[in-house]
Amino acid sequence: MFAYRSLGYKDDTGEKPSDVEMVTVQASAGMVAGACSSVITTPIDTVKTRLQVWEMGLLSSGFTVVHEGRDF
């Protein structure tokens, strides 16, 4: 409701935001939430993947193992 209050709508008035305003606010909130999620999880996922590859011993030879047809 904070976003609607900043647009000038109050709880006590009978006036409601238009559908376009509601969609705009909700889409903006979704984009911000998605961006925050990506910023937080992508570095963590990268570290996790590198640790998994390092544990398997494929960090330096991963390219050759895949192309020689060997199973991991």
Give the C-alpha separation, 4 to 25, whole Å.
8
Give the C-alpha separation, 1 to 19, whole Å.
15
The number of C-alpha atoms within 13 Å of 35 and in the hemisphere containing its C-beta is: 6
* In the chain, where the domains are located: 2-68
What are the pLDDT digits (tens) for 5-59?
A: 766 777 666 777 788 988 998 999 999 999 999 999 999 999 998 888 776 665 5
Q: Which residue has the higher pLDDT, 60 or 6?
A: 6
